[in-house]
Amino acid sequence: MILAIVQFRIDFFTQAKNLFGSKTVFVVTKKSIEELEKLSKKNKAMKKNIELALEIIKKNNVQEVNIEAQNADECLEKLAAKGIIIATNDKALRKKIKVFGSHIFLKKKQFIAFE
């Protein structure tokens, strides 16, 4: 979802606040940030989008949380199990976390949907 915000120029944070209320708290896992940084080093074509995505995260006061897990997806599964609403476009991850409750995904590459 983080990269989709940049790639499709989505005002994710405004849409989410409209959906859930202005006091919505946004978090990103440390593993997600680490995976983006690694991808940025490996894929020069995506480097600019990743840097912009990380800048947007900071600008919107997204809190970084450290969850013990093997990878970012596992972190998100653990958060979903605690009742946290996860924003993801990964179909496999959406299927896994659906058993824990709701999630946010991108619909028609322009707005977020809640399921």
pLDDT digits (tens, 9 = 90+) for 13-29: 999 999 899 999 999 99
Task: Report the alpha-carbon distance of residue 1 to residue 46 in Å, rounded.
Answer: 14
pLDDT at 115: 79
Which two tokens mark 54? 């990380």
> Average pLDDT over the chain, rounded to whole?
91
Domain total in the chain = 1
What CATH number corresponds to the domain at position 55? 3.40.50.1010
* Amino acid present at 43: N
DSSP for residue 103: E
Query: What domain range includes position 73?
Result: 2-114
DSSP for residue 22: T
The answer to whether residue 44 scores a pLDDT higher than 90 is no
What's the mean pLDDT in 46-57? 93
Strand partners, 65: 29
What's the mean pLDDT in 74-99? 93
For the chain, what percentages of helix, strand and coil (3-state, to nearest 5) are there?
55, 15, 30
